[in-house]
Amino acid sequence: MSEHPGPAPSDNPFLMAAVAKPREFSGGTVSIPTPSITEAISIVDSFLRPSTLPAGTVVAIVGEYGTGKSHLVGAVLHHALSVPEERRPRVAFLEARPATFVDLYKQLIGTELRRDDVCARVRELYADVLADALGESELTAEIAVRLRRGEVDPVEVSDRLNLMGSKYLARLRQRLEVVTRNRAFGIVLPLLLRHDFADAAWEWLSGHYPDPVLVDRGVDTPIATEELALEAMGVIALLYSTRGKKFVLAIDEMNKVVSATRKPSENAVDAFEKLIKVFAGAQALLVLAGLPDYLDELGGTVQQRIGRTILISPLNPENAIEYIRQSQEAIGRGRVLHPFTEDTVRYLVKLTDGNARRIIRLCSHLYRHAMDLSPRDPARALVTEAMVRKVAREQAGARSTDHVRNEIRQVLAALGLSYERDHWMDPQTDSRADYWVPYGDEDGAGCALVLIDAVLTQGDCDALVSRATFLQTSAEQRQVLLVVVGLLNADFVSELGEAFSEEPISYDHWTFTETLSSVLERQLRTLDRDDTLVLGEERFRRLGRQQANTQRMLEQALKTLTAMRSSSERSLGQIQRELTELSTADRAAHPGTESPPLRLPPPVMVLFTRAQSFLDGLDQVDATLRTMFAAASGDSANAIDARVAVRGQLRSPHLFSAVGVGAMLRTLLVTFRDSINEWYRSYVPSSSGDPYPADKDRLSALCLAYDTVYEYVPFYRLEDLDGFSPQLLDGNVLLPPQVGEAQEVFNLLSGQVQAAVLESVAESR
Amino acid sequence: MNPYLVPLGGDGPGPLRPHDDPTHEDFYVPVDHTLAAFEQFKASIGDAAKIRAKGRLVVALGWDGCGKSSLLNRCATHLKSVLRQDDGQCLVFSFTDACRDSDSVEERQKAVCQCLIDELDDRDMLTSKHRKKLDGYAPKLKYRYLGNHVLGDTAVVILLPRIELEQEVESYAHWTHRNLVFLAESRQVEAVRAHWPKIKSASTEQGTVPIQLEVGKLEPDDGWAFVQARNGHRTDGVVYPFVSKETIRAVIAAKEFSIGELHNLLFRLFEEILAERTNSGPIGSGLTDEVTYNTITDFYFRRGTT
């Protein structure tokens, strides 16, 4: 026996991407017979069973992201194609991108079913027409047999024997009209068999405007509306399910065509209902897969007509164990569970809530991690629960909380909400909101958003519960929301739901902004309500929550305060050290030097100047104080008025925060400008005149740095400076500050600067 | 020579064109209602004065190979003789290949009209004033202008390209005018039949009545009449394989045949037989073998499937 080297321990049996592609499903694909898969396969078997009665049906597969919908579609299609050839259906698979039914139809006709394919189908029907005519005569009976078997081409037979071709093409047209129940297709499809007309016919079938020769024949509308596209898909199903043949059409990611944000028109829903009827009444199977909301949006009537709805079941520990064994077997390692244990797999399933994609991804990371820890002795590699937690946390971090923060910022901006980053309700407690959205009339009212990478242990959960409680302690009108970027142990969902205003929002790339937006709107509406009864209920609920957590809070508070003190001291020490180092380094590097002269080109400089002038328009503290001092050296009555006016403004407790924000923005602007100036000084043009990629990256990093700091600046606070103006001292009328406009300038600054810099460099070539 | 090579000198079977070659007139065989249709045409077309005054639309209907083109060519020849009886002029133009089936109706109509103008121009019948006028007109006005101001005592017979759409036939009914006779053929028998009231109404508006001629499949004795006629035309003295009346009747009875299909079948069969003879021995050496029903069946199968 020859010795083949077995798989190396570094061969990871688990795919990092864990994204199923139905087209790539094969006999070698690892697939676990979950209840969903078993049910779907039995439907396919029933559909493919020989029958003269219409066996058509529609199956809807629904499930959340990563639950295995595409895998199931792949399994269905593969199963349908695995039956013996005489029973094998024609299978078409469409992958819905963010698209319309028209795009789907164009994918079906042209990409999935090519011209030759459709022509061949029409040719088969023409062969039947001709065979019917020739089969009645002994002179031509044998030709008819060959036509039916597909051994001879009907068009060639007709030409070679000088048959009355136009008569039989007219019969074909009638037959196609009956088969497709569509006059236009009845006219166009036979033209595919006529050399001179085939291009025009195919163009129309592919969704283009009809050629004049088709318009002459009464086909004057392109397949360009949702209704026509759906009708056309039904026609294709009928065309492919005649002559004892069967047709399977699967559409994955239906939610990219129909969802809460892509609502179908009433006409499209009606047309979809007709499409379902067509499939049900033919030898055709329609498989629809997607997130649950596509079904919701298609409405009750469509849902009733769908033959079977398969809700994807989460993987249970036994499924996951079997998956791991099969995956290892698939790369030649045998049906082993190692380096996993049954207990770690159970823990894994619990953490991921049985989500297939998350399980597979984690398995991939865990496998690599375990092997990396025992490079010399892979047999001793072991995945432990602690390792699962560690890897899960790392993966949550890797998912980039920056990206999530960016999405949160987008949602808040879209809702027109002002916010503060890292806002402490009470500096003495663990009451930090990652995002604080002030809202409503009551002092301290608003919505706090807490962002956490993962919730895996009871300790994680306890910390969040006490944080929620602290966040809600000092105000009646306050909602608290939790966003979990990574894994959330299903055991803690309920507890966290009680502690926070709602159940935690698990971050999902596809749905997060939509979900957060609707949750925020709902919670802010609660704060808006003037209804005493509703408010009373809300307060009662809040009290209940607080009481339920009081005991835990007290325990946690003590721990947290201690930890905070220690942490703060550490942080302070760290900051002091870093400041000292920076100051020392700066002095050492530039002894006695001034800032380098500005060498920004005018288009870039003007952006900074504009931002500066907007800021000057809002923050006139300097000018006001100078005016006050100027007045002090003149007429005493004016001097008194000026002092009184300034002092009056200083009574507002918000003024100082506003001045701080102004100062921060000035510093940010100047340092950003200087850093860009420095970039100009240091970048090296390549031989083509363009900056080298490294310089471009450096420019992007500078702009990102600006964005990152700017994001934390509560710009809206500058509104509190509206009374602090030299005009006030002159007794003039005050113009309202243009905070919104100024904010827009600062919002766009980095992007505009980056573009202007690159443009200026290009122009200087 | 293959006795079924008609018209003579061509590559194979094709429509007879007596207006081009008067000898073709002798090859017409009274099969599949063509003679009756021709007689109907002669009876309906009327005298020269009437044709010149109002023009006419003649439409021949029948499936592929039923003899529509040959019939209309014969009609054109007849019109030529009728229209010359009163010392007037008659021009016959065949524009059957002026355009393709797959051109749009508008393109087809423009092509036919332009062909007519070019033909008249070639005969120096158009002045620069005529051309200028014609340039700005749509087909209907072009035909009207030609009929009224250009043709004078010359009648024009136009053999149109094969028409697929009934609306196109109707448009020629609208454009019928003095000195203009349109001869149209279509394989869309049922569609044109169904549309005939509109075609008739359009012609009536022009003061004429359209003539509808129909040709169809072969009747039981038509096949034998055709074979006899072609045998009678043989002048080469060659002894060809014998085909019996019973054989031909049996073939015609076996399935629906058009004259074109039978003509083609016999022509190809004899081509094969003659090629074999050329290889095995000189033609005219007293060969007397028979073309049986089985010979035809075998040939038909081979022709259809290889």
Q: Are B297 and B265 in contact (CB under 8 A)?
A: no
Q: Which of residues 234-263 of B touch A (CB under 8 A)?
A: 251, 254-256, 258, 260-261
What pLDDT is stored for residue A575 in this prediction?
A: 57
Residue A454 within any structural domain of the chain? yes
Higher-pLDDT residue of A596 and A13 is: A13
pLDDT tens-digit profile of A328-366?
A: 998 888 888 989 999 999 998 988 888 898 899 889 989
- CB-based contact A138 B297, cutoff 8 Å: yes
β-pair type (A247-252, A284-290):
parallel
Shortest distance between the Cα of A179 and any Cα of chain B, in A, equals 21
Question: Which residue, among A6, A421, A22, A532, has the nearest Cα to A250 in the 3D structure?
Answer: A22
Q: What would the mean pLDDT of B139-157 be, rounded to a whole number?
A: 92
Shortest distance between the Cα of B53 and any Cα of chain A, in A, equals 32
Q: Which of residues 216-255 of A touch B (CB under 8 A)?
A: 216-217
Question: Which residue, among A462, A426, A432, A461, has the nearest Cα to A556 in the 3D structure?
Answer: A462
The residues facing A437 across adjacent strands are A447
Shortest distance between the Cα of A164 and any Cα of chain B, in A, equals 5
Q: Which of residues 166-195 of A touch B (CB under 8 A)?
A: 166-167, 170, 194
Is the pLDDT confidence value at A572 over 60? no
What pLDDT is stored for residue A424 in this prediction?
A: 86
Which of these three, A279, A311, A343, is where a domain ends?
A311
Residue showing tokens 């790392």: A394
Q: Which residue of A has its CA nearest to B265?
A: A161
Residue A585 within any structural domain of the chain? no
Task: Give me chain B's average pLDDT, please.
Answer: 88
Is the pLDDT confidence value at A425 over 80? yes
What pLDDT is stored for residue B287 in this prediction?
A: 47
Residue A715 within any structural domain of the chain? yes
- Residue B212: which pLDDT band, with cuts at 50, 70 and 90? very high
Q: Are A341 and A383 in contact (CB under 8 A)?
A: yes
Largest CA distance in chain A: 128
Higher-pLDDT residue of A7 and A243 is: A243
**B296 contacts in chain A (CB < 8 Å):** 139
What pLDDT is stored for residue A473 in this prediction?
A: 77
The pair of three-digit structure tokens given for residue B253, joined into one six-digit string: 């009875």
Question: Mean pLDDT lowest for which of A142-146, A394-398, A732-736, B206-210?
Answer: A732-736
pLDDT tens-digit profile of B165-198?
A: 999 999 999 999 999 999 999 999 999 999 999 9
3-state secondary structure of B290: strand
What pLDDT is stored for residue A260 in this prediction?
A: 77
Q: Are A263 and A299 in contact (CB under 8 A)?
A: no
No. of H helices and E strands in chain A? Answer: 29, 10
Residue type, A337: L
Q: B66, B255, B298: which to substitute to probe chain A, counting the most A Cβ within 10 Å? A: B255
Same domain, A408 and A274: no
Same domain, A281 and A358: no
Residue A594 within any structural domain of the chain? no
What pLDDT is stored for residue A584 in this prediction?
A: 53
Q: Does A399 touch chain B (CB under 8 A)?
A: no
Residue A282 within any structural domain of the chain? yes
What pLDDT is stored for residue A730 in this prediction?
A: 61
Provide the sign of the torsion angle of the four alpha carbons B116, B121, B127, B133, taken in this order: positive
Length of chain A: 765
- Residue A6: which pLDDT band, with cuts at 50, 70 and 90? low
Q: B4, B61, B63, B261: which to substitute to probe chain A, counting the most A Cβ within 10 Å? A: B63
Provide the sign of the torsion angle of the four alpha carbons A155, A160, A164, A166, taken in this order: positive
- Residue A587 CB-density burial (10 A; 0-12 exposed, 13-18 middle, 19+ buried): exposed
Residue A12 within any structural domain of the chain? no
Q: What would the mean pLDDT of A745-754 be, rounded to a whole number?
A: 89
Shortest distance between the Cα of A127 and any Cα of chain B, in A, equals 13
Question: Where do the H-state alpha helices sit in A474-503?
Answer: 493-499
CB atoms within 10 A of CB A475: 15
Higher-pLDDT residue of A4 and A400 is: A400
Question: Mean pLDDT lowest for which of A396-400, A680-684, B158-162, B222-226?
Answer: A396-400
CATH number where A498 lies: 3.40.1350
**A212 contacts in chain B (CB < 8 Å):** 104-107
Q: Which of residues 130-169 of A touch B (CB under 8 A)?
A: 133-134, 136-140, 142-143, 146, 151-152, 157, 160-167
Q: What would the mean pLDDT of A444-456 be, rounded to a whole number?
A: 88
Tell me, rounded to whole angstroms, the distance of Cα A432 from its chain centroid: 28
Is the pLDDT confidence value at A204 over 50? yes
What pLDDT is stored for residue A538 in this prediction?
A: 54
CATH number where A71 lies: 3.40.50.300
- The minimal CB distance from A152 to the residues B64, B261, B305 is found for B305
- CB-based contact B304 A196, cutoff 8 Å: no
The share of chain A scoring above pLDDT 70, in percent, equals 85
What pLDDT is stored for residue A374 in this prediction?
A: 80
- The minimal CB distance from B261 to the residues A133, A163, A217 is found for A163
- Residue A564: which pLDDT band, with cuts at 50, 70 and 90? low
Is the pLDDT confidence value at A405 over 70? yes
Alpha carbon of A97 to those of A78, A103, A252, A261, A407: distances in Å?
Answer: 22, 9, 9, 14, 22
Same domain, A551 and A424: yes
3-state secondary structure of A7: coil
Tell me, rounded to whole angstroms, the distance of Cα A264 from its chain centroid: 20
Which of these three, A153, A184, A206, is where a domain ends?
A206
Q: Which residue of A has its CA nearest to B263?
A: A162
Q: Which residue of A has its CA nearest to B13?
A: A162
Residue A93 within any structural domain of the chain? yes
Q: Are B215 and B61 in contact (CB under 8 A)?
A: yes
Q: Are B33 and B71 in contact (CB under 8 A)?
A: no
Q: Does B294 touch chain A (CB under 8 A)?
A: no
Higher-pLDDT residue of A740 and B107 is: B107
Question: Which residue, among A444, A445, A424, A443, has the nearest Cα to A435 in the 3D structure?
Answer: A424
For residue A139, the surrounding DSSP H or E stretch is: none
**A160 contacts in chain B (CB < 8 Å):** 303-304
Question: Which residue, among A763, A596, A743, has the nearest Cα to A691 in the 3D structure?
Answer: A763
Give phi and psi for A251, each to the nearest 5: -120, 115
Q: B110, B247, B249, B256: which to substitute to probe chain A, counting the most A Cβ within 10 Å? A: B256
Q: Does B296 touch chain A (CB under 8 A)?
A: yes
- CB-based contact B102 A196, cutoff 8 Å: yes
Question: Mean pLDDT lowest for which of A168-172, A340-344, A420-424?
Answer: A420-424
Same domain, A420 and A529: yes
The pair of three-digit structure tokens given for residue A176, joined into one six-digit string: 């196609």
Question: Mean pLDDT lowest for which of A90-99, A590-599, A754-763, B9-18?
Answer: A590-599
- Residue A573: which pLDDT band, with cuts at 50, 70 and 90? very low
Largest CA distance in chain B: 68
β-pair type (A432-438, A420-424):
antiparallel
Q: Give the residue numbers spanning the domain of A104.
A: 33-109+243-311
Q: B103, B108, B305, B306: which to substitute to probe chain A, counting the most A Cβ within 10 Å? A: B305
Q: Are A139 and B297 in contact (CB under 8 A)?
A: yes
Is the pLDDT confidence value at A449 over 90? yes
Spatial distance between the Cα atoms of A34 and A348, rounded to a whole number of angstroms: 18
Higher-pLDDT residue of B100 and A400 is: B100
Q: Are A19 and A70 in contact (CB under 8 A)?
A: yes
B245-248: Cβ within 8 A, 24+ apart: B247/B290, B247/B291, B247/B292, B247/B293, B247/B296, B248/B223, B248/B224
Same domain, A448 and A486: yes
Residue showing tokens 């075609």: B199
Question: Which residue, among B19, B38, B119, B115, has the nearest Cα to B76 in the 3D structure?
Answer: B19
Q: Does B128 touch chain A (CB under 8 A)?
A: no
Q: What would the mean pLDDT of A368-384 be, rounded to a whole number?
A: 84
Residue A651 within any structural domain of the chain? yes
Same domain, A628 and A705: yes
DSSP string, A238-259: HHHT-TT--EEEEEE-GGGTSB
What pLDDT is stored for residue B285 in this prediction?
A: 43
Spatial distance between the Cα atoms of B192 and B66, rounded to a whole number of angstroms: 16
Is the pLDDT confidence value at A1 over 70? no
**A142 contacts in chain B (CB < 8 Å):** 301, 305
pLDDT tens-digit profile of A222-257?
A: 999 999 999 999 999 999 998 888 999 999 999 888
Q: What would the mean pLDDT of B215-219 be, rounded to a whole number?
A: 88
- CB-based contact A161 B300, cutoff 8 Å: yes
What pLDDT is stored for residue A583 in this prediction?
A: 54
ipTM: 0.90
Which of these three, A352, A382, A397, is where a domain ends?
A397
Same domain, A556 and A435: yes
Is the pLDDT confidence value at B286 over 50? no
Shortest distance between the Cα of A139 and any Cα of chain B, in A, equals 5
The pair of three-digit structure tokens given for residue A188, joined into one six-digit string: 């166009």
Same domain, A696 and A606: yes
What pLDDT is stored for residue A89 in this prediction?
A: 93
pLDDT tens-digit profile of A31-84?
A: 888 999 999 999 999 999 887 777 889 999 999 888 899 999 999 999 999 999
Same domain, A489 and A405: yes
B56-61, strands of its sheet edge to edge: B89-94, B154-159, B180-186, B56-61, B211-214
User: How many structural domains are present in chain A?
Assistant: 5
Same domain, A383 and A417: no
Alpha carbon of A421 to those of A403, A435, A451, A567, A570: distances in Å?
Answer: 15, 5, 11, 19, 22
pLDDT tens-digit profile of A278-312?
A: 998 889 999 999 988 899 889 888 998 898 999 99
Same domain, A192 and A255: no
3-state secondary structure of A438: strand
Q: What would the mean pLDDT of A431-435 be, rounded to a whole number?
A: 89
CB atoms within 10 A of CB A366: 24
The pair of three-digit structure tokens given for residue B292, joined into one six-digit string: 């049986």
Q: A136, A187, A194, A213: which to substitute to probe chain B, counting the most B Cβ within 10 Å? A: A213
What pLDDT is stored for residue B115 in this prediction?
A: 95
Is the pLDDT confidence value at A402 over 80? no
- The minimal CB distance from A160 to the residues B63, B190, B303 is found for B303
Same domain, A433 and A528: yes
Is the pLDDT confidence value at A496 over 70? yes
Shortest distance between the Cα of B173 and any Cα of chain A, in A, equals 18
Q: Does B302 touch chain A (CB under 8 A)?
A: no
- CB-based contact B305 A194, cutoff 8 Å: no
Q: Which residue of B has its CA nearest to A143?
A: B301
Q: What would the mean pLDDT of A392-399 be, rounded to a whole number?
A: 68
Shortest distance between the Cα of A191 and any Cα of chain B, in A, equals 10
